[in-house]
Amino acid sequence: MELLSGADMIARFLKDEGVEYIYGYPGGAALHIYDALFRQDDVKHILVRHEQAATHAADGYARASGKPGTVLVTSGPGATNAVTGIATAYMDSIPMVVLCGQVASHLIGEDAFQETDIIGVTRPIVKHSFSIRHPSEIPMVLKKAYYLAASGRPGPVVVDIPKDMTAPTERYEYVYPKKVKLRSYNPVTRGHTGQIKKAVELMLKARRPVFYTGGGVITGNACEGLADLVQRLGYPITTTLMGIGAYPQSDRQSLGWLGMHGSYESNMAMHHADLIVAIGARFDDRVTNNTSKFCPTAKIVHVDIDPSSISKTVRADVPIVGPAGSVINEMISLVQGREPANPEALAEWWEKIDGWREERRGKLYEPAEASEPLKPQQVIETVCRLTRGEAFVTTDVGQHQMFAAQYYKFDKPHRFITSGGLGTMGFGFPAAMGIKQSYPDDDVVCITGEGSFQMMMQELSTCKQFGIGVKIVNLNNGSLGMVRQWQDLNYKSRHAHSYMESLPDFQKLIEAYGFTAIKVERHEDLEPALERAFADKTELVFLDIYVDPREHVYPMQVPLGAMRDMLLSKTERT
């Protein structure tokens, strides 16, 4: 039996829980905890330069590793700065525990210095939150926090810790809780067998089936099972932005990803399907377009671990509440030894799909002449080729994000790391930091734009301090590209505040932090610059690549239309 202060309990618990990294920033209310971290070597603390970056870094780590990320911030502004990152993790169901310092219990409610009701502020954007009311509760509350964050449909959990709970003079017994039970929380461990049978019957009878899978397949470690099931049946598969990599994109059955800027063939296939098998996806508005025109001839099987995701926006014909992995395995065992009932119809279906593929082959974008500015698409294709499609790719939000998703081809899960639900500019660079720490031997590339990068560029300093060698590919078009695209399409090219005047000289800026920056303007400089950047995995290199500001992202679904209603270029539409 051991007596520890609350602060020491936190440090010890993190070690016992197997936490490797904490991303954080100190401040008054968290100082007892920081002192406890100082007196141990097991858990590494990464000091960021802004609390939002701490949450994104922990988030990136969680997305790449599948383990919960850990954040430590102080009360008041420390905690409120973390809010955007918490919301980002919430929208994408990322496991994360955020430990927030709080003013001492006797000061709560008195508008004390650096006091914020962070439990109240974060209530709509957390899976759950706790307030510590006695130091002896700390081990069990933290255990619950990690359990809740990582189980079921994962999400961020906030733990508010008043300063007096961590006082060094107050010591209590510490035992690491091996088990945790919450009477009101029992995530499902398997789907309803009757429903799964019904789904499999529909799948075998289908004439124009499509698998539509999301981030839940990656979170649920169900990618191998998914590939097995999809290949046994020989059906086409499209994924959401969050589901990229769950199924190898280089495989013939993969149609790429779907939705607003998804591939032509995946949106066409969805629209014409007679059966959609959705697994771990949530029929988000960026996927469905107008739900009243969504897939008019399709029956829908919807597998999700979260019952509230089912029939939320689109009614499911066969709802299955359960984890992707076990449901997929049950489907495989039911499919085993059986063949789809309509091989001719399926052959026709594939002919149609291959036809859609052919229609757009070689027309996705117009390559630039050597005298013209580089196209962002060709930059991404080159990055993909030079990293053999194996890098961890993080993005910020906007055109570059869509180009990265479209032109980098992923065959593995956990590699494309992007803020899908919240669409948080500033996410990419700190997320890349969090990944690189845990995967030092891999290429970690942040594909960004000059708008997004400036939202979190202070983290260059963190990379300096901790020797974090990420590569930053800045697609510099001197404007907020996606905003500008919408203004071109919907506001007669009135570019209200979508330009970036007075951009910094990125080369000098990066050099001020002691890193290498390479400016790329000419076509022939692109490949050598990238080769130079990827030569050394330990070195941070910033590539400032000037790309065509007039470029738009296509395909683009037409507002209020069906999935098949798309603009295909500045002059073509379906």
Partner 1 sequence: MRHIISILMENEPGALSRVVGLFSQRNFNIESLNVAPTEDETLSRLTVTTVGDDRVIEQITKHLNKLIDVVKLVDLTEGNHIERELMLVKVKALGTQRDEVKRTADIFRAQVVDVTPSVYTVQITGDAGKLDAFLQAMAAIGVLEVARTGVSGISRGDKVLGL
Annotated catalytic, 114?
Answer: yes
Check binding of 106 to partner 1 (CB under 8 A). Answer: no
Measured in whole angstroms, the distance separating CA 505 from the mean position of its chain's CA atoms is 30
Q: Which residue number, 40 or 186, has a Cβ lying nearer to partner 1?
A: 186
If we measure between CA atoms, which residue out of 267, 503, 242 comes closest to residue 395?
A: 242
And the tokens for 301?
Answer: 């099987």
User: Which residue of 80, 221, 311, 438 would you call a contact of partner 1, by CB under 8 A?
Assistant: 311
Check binding of 307 to partner 1 (CB under 8 A). Answer: yes
Q: Which residue number, 28 or 187, has a Cβ lying nearer to partner 1?
A: 187
Least distance in Å: CB of 119 to partner 1?
6
Check binding of 560 to partner 1 (CB under 8 A). Answer: no
And the tokens for 171?
Answer: 């010591």
Q: Which residue has the tokens 């980002």?
A: 88
Q: Which residue number, 192 or 197, has a Cβ lying nearer to partner 1?
A: 192
Q: Which residue number, 128 or 537, has a Cβ lying nearer to partner 1?
A: 128
Classify strands 444-449 and 44-47 as parallel, antiparallel or unpaired.
unpaired
Least distance in Å: CB of 491 to partner 1?
28
Check binding of 303 to partner 1 (CB under 8 A). Answer: no
Check binding of 124 to partner 1 (CB under 8 A). Answer: yes
Return the sign of the alpha-carbon dihedral for residues 555, 559, 564, 566: negative
Residue 75 to residue 127: CA distance in whole angstroms: 20
Q: Which residue has the tokens 């960004």?
A: 448
Check binding of 119 to partner 1 (CB under 8 A). Answer: yes
Classify strands 156-162 and 171-174 as parallel, antiparallel or unpaired.
unpaired
Distances in whole angstroms, Cα of residue 81 to Cα of each of 49, 52, 486, 498, 529: 11, 5, 29, 25, 35
# chain residues binding partner 1, by CB under 8 A: 19
> Which SS3 state, helix, strand or coil, does residue 278 take?
strand
Residue 168 to residue 429: CA distance in whole angstroms: 36
User: Which residue of 182, 347, 512, 560 would you call a contact of partner 1, by CB under 8 A?
Assistant: 182
- List, in sequence order, the alpha helices (H) in 127-211: 138-150, 193-205
Check binding of 137 to partner 1 (CB under 8 A). Answer: no
Check binding of 128 to partner 1 (CB under 8 A). Answer: yes
Classify strands 2-5 and 171-174 as parallel, antiparallel or unpaired.
antiparallel
User: Which residue of 18, 109, 120, 343 would you call a contact of partner 1, by CB under 8 A?
Assistant: 120
Residues 6+ apart with CB under 8 A from 465: 47
240-269 residues in contact with partner 1 (CB under 8 A) are none
State the catalytic residue, choosing from 143, 163, 375, 471: 163
Check binding of 367 to partner 1 (CB under 8 A). Answer: no
Q: Which residue number, 149 or 379, has a Cβ lying nearer to partner 1?
A: 149
Q: Specify the DSSP class assigned to residue 324.
A: H
Q: Which residue number, 252 or 315, has a Cβ lying nearer to partner 1?
A: 315
Annotated catalytic, 113?
Answer: yes
Annotated catalytic, 492?
Answer: no
Residue 150 to residue 19: CA distance in whole angstroms: 13
Asked if 520 and 526 touch (Cβ cutoff 8 Å), the reply is yes
For residue 7, report the phi and psi dihedrals to the nearest 5 degrees: -65, -45
State the catalytic residue, choosing from 38, 40, 44, 113: 113
User: Which residue of 205, 312, 409, 519 would you call a contact of partner 1, by CB under 8 A?
Assistant: 312
Check binding of 170 to partner 1 (CB under 8 A). Answer: no
State the catalytic residue, choosing from 114, 195, 458, 507: 114
Annotated catalytic, 102?
Answer: no
User: Which residue of 33, 73, 148, 483 would you call a contact of partner 1, by CB under 8 A?
Assistant: 148
Q: Which residue number, 127 or 375, has a Cβ lying nearer to partner 1?
A: 127
Q: Which residue number, 141 or 246, has a Cβ lying nearer to partner 1?
A: 141
Asked if 73 and 52 touch (Cβ cutoff 8 Å), the reply is no
Q: Which residues pair with 475 in a beta bridge?
A: 449, 545
Q: Which residue number, 148 or 300, has a Cβ lying nearer to partner 1?
A: 148
Return the sign of the alpha-carbon dihedral for residues 333, 337, 343, 347: positive
27-35, 106-114, 177-185, 382-390 -> range binding partner 1 (CB under 8 A): 177-185
Residue 105 to residue 103: CA distance in whole angstroms: 6
State the catalytic residue, choosing from 17, 51, 450, 459: 51
Residue 199 to residue 302: CA distance in whole angstroms: 9
And the tokens for 297?
Answer: 């001839």
Question: To the nearest 5 percent, what fractions of the chain are helix, strand and coil?
Answer: 40, 20, 40
1-9, 58-66, 304-312, 493-501 -> range binding partner 1 (CB under 8 A): 304-312
User: Which residue of 20, 137, 228, 306 would you call a contact of partner 1, by CB under 8 A?
Assistant: 306
86-105 residues in contact with partner 1 (CB under 8 A) are none
- List, in sequence order, the alpha helices (H) in 74-124: 77-81, 83-91, 118-122
Residue 457 to residue 430: CA distance in whole angstroms: 9
State the catalytic residue, choosing from 425, 482, 556, 563: 482
Per-residue buried b or exposed e for 476-488, using 16+ beta carbons within 10 Å of the residue's own CB: bbbbbbbbbbebb
45-53, 126-134, 135-143, 165-173 -> range binding partner 1 (CB under 8 A): 126-134
120-128, 197-205, 351-359, 394-402 -> range binding partner 1 (CB under 8 A): 120-128
Check binding of 184 to partner 1 (CB under 8 A). Answer: yes
Least distance in Å: CB of 307 to partner 1?
5
For residue 337, report the phi and psi dihedrals to the nearest 5 degrees: 80, 0
User: Which residue of 172, 176, 185, 486 would you call a contact of partner 1, by CB under 8 A?
Assistant: 185
Check binding of 123 to partner 1 (CB under 8 A). Answer: yes
Check binding of 180 to partner 1 (CB under 8 A). Answer: no
Q: Which residue number, 161 or 517, has a Cβ lying nearer to partner 1?
A: 161
Catalytic machinery residues: 51, 113-114, 163, 482
Applying CB under 8 A, which residues contact partner 1?
119-120, 123-124, 127-129, 131, 148, 182-185, 306-308, 311-312, 315
